Every structure is written in C-alpha cells, then in structure tokens.
C-alpha cells in the first residue's frame, strides 16, 4: 500500500485553475470567475492572467492588498 499526498502544490493549484478543473481561489478559498483568459476572485480581488494555448503555460499573478 502506498501513501498518497493530500495537499497540492501552488503550481498544481494554478494549473488546475487555468484548465478549469478547479473553481477555488488559491488566496481566500472562495469561488472564482473565469473571464476569457483571466480568472478573477470577486472576494479578495485576486486576478490570474494565463494562456493554455502555448506550449509552456505562462501565469501572471496579480493581487492588491486592501
């Protein structure tokens, strides 16, 4: 029997968000809104800008302290 890890890394969480497999904000845990190529959290105002159509996924992370 093998032990499976229970926690994902931040990189895995971000890729899941970009794929649409996750709907949870990595900052506050609320539901996110997918708006074209960007993902926005209406609760904490975190915005992720990314593109999956390229060979290497590029993620730009923006957050504003409030």
**DSSP conformation letters of 5-40:** P----HHHHHHHHHHTS--B-TTT--B-EEETTEEE
Residue 35 lies in a domain: yes
When divided into structural domains, the chain yields a total of 1
Residue 4 lies in a domain: no
Structural domain range at position 26: 10-62
Instruction: Give me the helices (H) in 1-66, please.
Output: 10-19
Residue 3 lies in a domain: no
pTM (global) more than 0.75: no
Q: How far apart are CA 52 and CA 57, in angstroms?
A: 5
Residue 49 lies in a domain: yes
For 20-58, the pLDDT digits (tens) are: 888 899 889 899 998 888 889 999 999 988 755 544 555
Residue 45 lies in a domain: yes
pLDDT reading at 63 higher than 80: no
């Amino acid at each position: 029997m093998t032990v499976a890890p229970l926690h994902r890394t931040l990189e895995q969480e971000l890729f899941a968000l970009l794929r649409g497999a996750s709907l949870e904000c990595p900052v506050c845990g609320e539901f996110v809104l997918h708006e074209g190529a960007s993902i926005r959290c209406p609760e904490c105002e975190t915005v992720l800008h990314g593109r999956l159509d390229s060979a290497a996924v590029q993620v730009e992370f923006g957050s504003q302290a409030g």
